[in-house]
């Protein structure tokens, strides 16, 4: 199970009254439990055959992971990803370039609905995760932008 | 524009017969001389107003202004605020700018000229003054961004219904081009600002060819085009068709809010030029040769076109659809030995 799925479980438990979730996928089991009302959830990734004692224990520093997550620009819909306004135009941005809040980063198109994605904050384009004209899924990461 | 002059144009624009100076003076609480002065001023602005001795004034120019729409629309959400501009860069951009400064759902911007009228992927769209209609509408629907592409198809259905009042053969080409016998009569460009889970603004942009420009279509236009007046064989004013389009969008948007996409989806499929026919879908991705051919089998729940390619169904969500001349293929097949 990858880190983003675990993160989803953590969000799920944080937004509910549940105190523990256990998910088994193939030969891996992940158990997320809440200890106390405000404490951070504890994540245990377990190899299934050795259920009794959690072997590979806590997925640690969550703080660092979620920082990185916040710096990802995700697609709000399924569509086609364009890095430029037209096939002949210069790309909106490229890796290593500084962007300002409100700058256009890309366009996602579906059924001739054009969704211009704008930078939410000033930053530097760390990574562009897709090629121009690629298909994109809901919630898929498009850019990593380090805030300035 | 001066409010009195706008009101005079609204009176003249909403009448099919000449309106006397006396009647205008009474309606507006001005003297007949005052009316005459305003008419002179309007003529100086290039607006063609004919005087008919003993009968009054008649508007010959196809002008539009906000006051003209008063009393014409029975809309619930759209047209709460109508702005008519002589010129702007693009009506979609103007609406998006106003959306960013907090404009409410229902705002409409119409312009005679667009200096940067656009189609899909930066293609330019020609807006020729009184020969065209460029109209953009702001929506703030309470739906997820994933559903917003449905509004792109809803706009096509509304536009098809409005145009069919004058040119019944009007058909949709996926997702939202409007065609008459294979020639483009209108186009739609829908734009959205959203983040995952939250729609901020949706702009429906419509470009319609109302009549053929006196000196012909610009040379840059390479595809087959037509216009409403030639297709319907009569003069249709921009005020008439603009009002019908706005009303239709409001009606279908209301249907969508109450009953979801299903009824719109059925109407769309029935008005689609290539339902059940062979089409070429250009997705623009060079890795797969740029296009795929298949039978347009259905419209998916999100508005994607389902193409039957061999024994598989493929979803087509972005690109240009090319209609393959089915008529000539049918003809060819009748030539086959029985």
pLDDT at A19 over 80: no
Of B80, B45, B51, B50, nearest to B66 by C-alpha is B80
Retrieve residue A3's tokens. 């880190």
For position B120, what pLDDT does the model report?
86
Residue A34 — pLDDT band, cuts 50, 70, 90? low
- B176 or B289: which carries more pLDDT confidence? B176
| CA proximity to B167, closest of B184, B153, B155, B154 | B184
**Predicted local distance difference test score (pLDDT) of residue A104:** 95
In chain B the domains, ranked by start, together with CATH numbers, are: 3-59 (1.10.10.10), 66-271 (3.30.930.10), 278-329 (2.30.30.100)
For A77-96, letters b (16+ CB in 10 Å) and e give bbbbbbbbbeeeeeebbeee
Residue B32 phi, psi dihedral angles, 5° rounding:
-65, -35
* Residue B175 preceded by cis peptide, ω within 30: yes
Residues 6+ apart with CB under 8 A from B312: none
> Could you read off the pLDDT of B92-107 as tens digits, one per residue?
999 999 999 999 999 9
Q: What percent of chain B has pLDDT over 70?
A: 95
CATH 2.40.50.100 in chain A, residue ranges: 71-147
Q: What percent of chain A has pLDDT over 70?
A: 59
In this structure, are residues B235 and B212 in contact, taking their beta carbons and an 8 Å threshold?
no
Tokens encoding B298: 């259905």
| Mean pLDDT across chain B | 91
Backbone angles phi, psi at A43, to 5 degrees: -110, 130
Of residues A5 and A111, more confidently modeled: A111
Lowest mean pLDDT among A53-67, B40-54, B250-264, B293-307: A53-67
> Candidates 1.10.1040.50, 2.40.50.100, 2.60.40.1120, 3.40.50.720; correct CATH number of A71-147?
2.40.50.100
User: Chain B residues contacting A, CB < 8 Å?
Assistant: 120-123, 145-146, 148-153, 175-176, 188-198, 283-286, 302-304, 317-319
Question: Collapsing DSSP states into helix, strand and coil, what is residue A109?
Answer: strand
Q: In what order do the strands lie in the sheet with A28-33?
A: A20-25, A28-33, A42-47
Would you place residue A35 in the very low, low, confident or very high pLDDT band (cuts 50, 70, 90)?
low
- Rounded distance, CA B226 to CA B206, Å? 15
Q: Do residue B194 and residue A77 have CB atoms under 8 angstroms apart? A: yes
Range with top average pLDDT, A12-21, B124-133, B301-310: B301-310
Encode pLDDT of B177-197 as tens digits: 999 999 999 999 999 999 888
Query: Does A112 sit within 8 Å of B194, measured CB to CB?
Result: no
User: B264 with B157: CB under 8 angstroms?
Assistant: yes
SS3 A11: helix
A89 vs chain B: nearest CA distance in angstroms? 9
Mean pLDDT of B295-319: 94
Whether B166 shows a pLDDT value over 70: the answer reads: yes
**CA atoms of B154 and B6, how far apart (whole Å):** 33
CA angle B80–B146–A147, rounded 5-degree value: 95
pLDDT band at A11 (very low <50, low <70, confident <90, very high): low
Q: Which of B122, B153, B191 sits opposite A111 (nearest CB)?
A: B153
The CA distance from A144 to B16, in Å, is 60
B178 or A2: which leads in pLDDT = B178
In the prediction, which pLDDT does A13 show? 62
Q: Which residues of A touch B190 (CB under 8 A)?
A: 111-114
Could A116 and B197 be called an inter-chain contact, meaning their C-beta atoms sit closer than 8 Å?
Answer: no
Res. A62: pLDDT tops 60: no
Report whether pLDDT(B318) > 50: yes
Residue A36: is its pLDDT beyond 70? no
pLDDT at A47: 46
8 Å CB contact of A77 and B190: no
What pLDDT score was predicted for residue A61? Answer: 43
B216-245: per-residue pLDDT in tens? 888 888 889 999 999 999 999 999 999 999
Q: In whole angstroms, give the CA distance from residue B249 to residue B241.
A: 12
Contact: A80, B122; criterion CB under 8 Å = no
């Amino acid at each position: 199970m990858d880190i983003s799925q675990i993160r989803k479980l953590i969000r799920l438990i944080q937004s509910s009254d549940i105190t523990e979730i256990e998910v088994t996928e193939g030969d891996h089991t992940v158990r997320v439990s809440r200890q106390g009302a405000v404490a951070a959830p504890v994540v245990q990734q377990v190899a299934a055959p050795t259920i009794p004692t959690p072997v590979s224990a806590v997925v640690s520093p969550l703080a660092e992971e979620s920082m990185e997550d916040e710096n990802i620009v995700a697609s709000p819909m399924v569509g086609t990803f364009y890095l430029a306004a037209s096939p002949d135009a210069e790309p909106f941005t490229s890796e290593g370039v500084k962007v300002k809040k409100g700058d256009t980063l890309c366009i996602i198109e579906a059924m001739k609905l054009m969704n211009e994605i704008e930078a939410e904050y000033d930053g530097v384009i760390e990574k562009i995760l897709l090629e121009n004209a690629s298909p994109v899924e809901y919630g898929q990461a498009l850019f990593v932008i380090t805030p300035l | 524009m001066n409010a009195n002059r706008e009101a005079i144009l609204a009176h003249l624009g909403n009448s099919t017969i000449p309106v006397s100076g006396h009647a205008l003076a009474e309606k507006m609480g001005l003297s007949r001389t005052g009316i005459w002065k305003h008419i002179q001023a309007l003529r100086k602005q290039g607006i063609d107003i004919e005087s008919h001795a003993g009968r009054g004034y008649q508007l010959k120019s196809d002008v539009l202004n906000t006051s003209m729409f008063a009393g014409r629309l029975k809309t619930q959400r759209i047209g709460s605020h109508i702005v008519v501009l002589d010129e702007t860069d693009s009506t979609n951009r103007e609406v998006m700018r106003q959306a960013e400064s907090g404009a409410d759902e229902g705002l409409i911007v119409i312009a005679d000229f667009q200096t940067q009228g656009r189609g899909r992927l930066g293609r330019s769209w020609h807006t020729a003054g009184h020969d065209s209609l460029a109209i953009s509408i702001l929506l703030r629907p309470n739906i997820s961004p994933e559903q917003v592409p449905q509004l792109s198809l809803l706009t096509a259905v509304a536009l098809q219904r409005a145009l069919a009042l004058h040119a019944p053969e009007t058909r949709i080409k996926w997702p939202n081009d409007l065609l008459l016998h294979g020639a483009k009569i209108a186009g739609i460009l829908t734009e959205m600002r959203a983040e995952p889970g939250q729609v901020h603004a949706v702009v429906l942009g419509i470009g319609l060819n109302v009549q053929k420009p006196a000196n012909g279509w610009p040379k840059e236009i390479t595809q087959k085009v037509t216009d409403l007046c030639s297709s319907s064989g009569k003069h249709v004013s921009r005020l008439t068709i603009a009002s019908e389009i706005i009303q239709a969008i409001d009606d279908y948007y209301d249907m969508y809010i109450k009953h979801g996409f299903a009824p719109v989806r059925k109407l769309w499929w029935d008005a689609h030029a290539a339902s059940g026919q062979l089409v070429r879908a250009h997705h623009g991705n060079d890795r797969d040769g740029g296009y795929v051919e298949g039978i347009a089998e259905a419209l998916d729940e999100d508005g994607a076109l389902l193409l039957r390619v061999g024994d598989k169904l493929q979803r087509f969500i972005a690109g240009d659809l090319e209609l393959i001349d089915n008529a000539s293929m049918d003809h060819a097949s009748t030539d086959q030995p029985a």
